[in-house]
Chain A
Amino acid sequence: MIETPALRTCDLTVGYRARHRTRAVLEGVNVSVSRGQLVCLLGPNGIGKSTLLRTLAAMQPALAGRVELDARDARLLAPADLARRLAVVLTDRGAIDGLSARRVVELGRYPHVGWFGVLRHRDGIAVDAALAAVAASHLADQEISRLSDGERQRVMIARALAQQPSVLLLDEPTAFLDVPSRVELMALLRDLTRREHVLAIVSTHDLELALRVADVVWLVMPGGELASGAPEDVMLSGVVNAAFEGHRLRFHVADRSFRLLTGQRGDAVARGVGVRATLAAAVLEREGYAVGAGGPPLVEVDVDDTGWIAVAGGTRVQGIDFASLAHFLRERTI
């Protein structure tokens, strides 16, 4: 049985409608994703990621086309219905500092409770489950203002989960986090999609991390198109290069990462065993040499666990750590 896609767009065009002009940011978007997947929305700054996200969340009307949630047109859904299918995690801070983490998560039950907001047994269960899903149960009774940024983000995700949606939309959730927390959060999101069987759409600047964890990548191109597919297909197609490369930057598909452009000073080789050779090559590249490009090397470096030996222009120098190697290379005039 083919599962109905949790979210599908049909010829979606998003943008702004000002008084006399209409400006489209993305046109003709046709994507379809099902539950249990993590989608990362990528693209350079200002290209329209937030606009797309807002349109998908029904916070902003589309210019053309439609969004379908569980095969229902989002525009035809009552606000409470929409809230039961789609939940958001934004960068807004709000004025919730006086609430405990549990109370913040309880707010997510809004579309499920009656007029007076009385929580029933099943609401309590949903709240507890949401907290457990983000591993924040031990934080439940603490004031949210006392949590670290990473913990606070987890609580906000739990709040969204408490809505029991099929789709989670997250706008730059890793924006204020330090590197270990970012990795943890993305890992958490990937686990959540599997365990809770939700679709998570995350917009992020963390390109390299996203390419590692995402099931589907949506890359917004400078021309107003959206490239979509598995990360590996997207990388191979070259669109990442097209979207992000500049005259100092290149995307290295094999490494799945960016490298600074090198080679102005000439070619070089690095020899050695294991990781030290790779690191030596990295130092050479940083200092402007192209390693392994094939041409006659101006510098040759051999490295082992005692240190390094460099031969260049007839001179032979050796040292112990990579800082001294870098220093040597910098002092050279060729």
Chain B
Amino acid sequence: MTRRELIMIAGLAVAVFAAFVLSLAIGSTRIPPSRVVEALIGGGVSDEDRAIVMAVRLPRAVTAMLAGAALGIAGLQMQTLFRNPLADPFALGVSSGASLGVALVVLGSGSIAGLFGSTTGLAGDALITAAAIAGAGSVLVLVLAVSSRIGDATVVLIFGLMFGYAVSACVTVLVGASAPERLQQWAQWGLGSFSGVTWPRLRLFGGLTAFGLALAAVTPKQLNALLLGDRYASSMGLAVRRVRVMTMAGASVLAAVVTAFCGPISFIGIAVPHLCRGLTGTGDHRVAVPAVVLMGAVVALAAQTVSVLPGDGTVLPLNAVTALVGAPTVVVVLLRRRRHGGHV
């Protein structure tokens, strides 16, 4: 790694730490930093403060880091796989599949939720997560089946987009037929949130995302080879179809897991790889993978912190924050590279 790259990665690591600390200190209620520290180390603070710091803010910060890293890596893998700077983790219709699963339990007749123990017909969080994973998984299986038969990556991408549209259409039909109380819960899921993952669920979430991240971490060689194109890659001995399927599955699992636990979160997956490329100056995956993991975590933590700035219970929708803050940043980065004679 060049000196510049090492410095950038070290800088990102510091930024992650700072963002993590900030997200513990800032929330919708005001708790002085000294009390936050006390709560963390198990000192004597009120029960409310301890509950807020340990049961609300801490798992939320960890969730944000994992989700940001996962989405960033999934976006990087998709952009490399399809050699397309506009690809995002949900290009294969995974997010639409998750939405369909959630829509079926939240918006479908109350009897589905009632089967799982709810008495008012409102679906619980665990049920929603399971449904999202099931929905995303179904779409993923379909897309992978298509991909193993078709060699052309662009065609697979188009298939994924079409699946996504078709599934979204089903969701729209469900939305149109739904009662207002249910729509409120549905709309809230759609806003995206890191607050829904409590400690017990964090175990599962953390395990799944760690698995997906590890997969990306051990394949920078293959991902680099894919940059040359399928023909060059196979001429060097890469099993192109197998690697493509594996990478697609890895990226989609990461995207599906994050969507299932946190709702659909836009922008991070598509923007973080570009930000990293601008910062480190290279697309080499040996540098990009660690950089994207760190940058994804920073962006997610920053978005989370900004979303609770209004205070006293009011929370800005996460998706709005990620886009509003992130989009101008990406534009700035791209313009700077253009000016210095670079490329996208």
Q: Which residues of A contact B342 (CB under 8 A)?
A: 143, 145
Q: Give Cα A98 to B218, complex, Å.
A: 21
Please determine whether A92 and B218 come into contact, CB atoms closer than 8 angstroms.
no
The residues of B that contact A88 with a CB separation of less than 8 Å are 231-232, 235
Q: How far is the CB of B150 from chain A (nearest CB, A)?
A: 16
User: Which of B228, B237, B239, B277 lies in contact with A111, CB distance below 8 A?
Assistant: B237
Q: Is B41 an interface residue (CB 8 A)?
A: no
Contacts of B235 in A (CB 8 A): 57, 59, 83, 86-88
1/0 contact trace for A66-105 toward B, CB 8 Å?
0000000000001110110011101011111111100100
Instruction: Tell me which residues across on chain B come within 8 A of A96, comparing CB atoms.
Output: 227-228, 283
> In the complex, which range does the number of interface residues on chain B fall in?
20 to 34
Residues of A within 8 A of B221 (CB): 110, 113, 115-117
The answer to whether A98 touches B282, judged by C-beta atoms less than 8 angstroms apart, is yes
Measured between C-beta atoms, what is the minimum distance from B234 to chain A in Å?
A: 7
Contact residues of A: prevailing secondary structure: mixed
Q: Is B229 a contact partner of A92 (Cβ separation < 8 A)?
A: yes
A108 at the interface (CB under 8 A from B): yes
Kindly list chain A residues whose C-beta atoms are within 8 Å of the C-beta of B220: 116-117
Which residues from A are CB-within-8-Å of B282? 98-100, 103
Q: Is B30 an interface residue (CB 8 A)?
A: no
Residue B284 lies at the interface, judged by CB distance under 8 Å to chain A:
yes
The smallest beta-carbon distance between B78 and chain A, in angstroms, is 13
Please encode chain B, from 237 to 249, with 1 for each CB lying within 8 Å of some chain A CB and 0 for all others. Answer: 1110000000000
| Alpha-carbon gap, A80 to B341, bound state (A) | 37
Which chain B residues in 323-344 approach chain A with CB under 8 Å? 341-344
B229 pairs with A110, CB closer than 8 A: no
Listed in ascending order, the chain B residues whose CB lies under 8 Å from chain A are 80, 83, 218, 220-221, 224-225, 227-229, 231-232, 234-239, 277, 282-284, 286, 341-344
* A interface with B by C-beta (< 8 Å): 57, 59, 78-80, 82-83, 86-88, 90, 92-100, 103, 107-108, 110-111, 113, 115-117, 143, 145-146, 163
- Interface pairs A-B: 7 shortest CB-CB: A98-B283, A117-B221, A83-B237, A95-B83, A79-B237, A110-B236, A80-B237
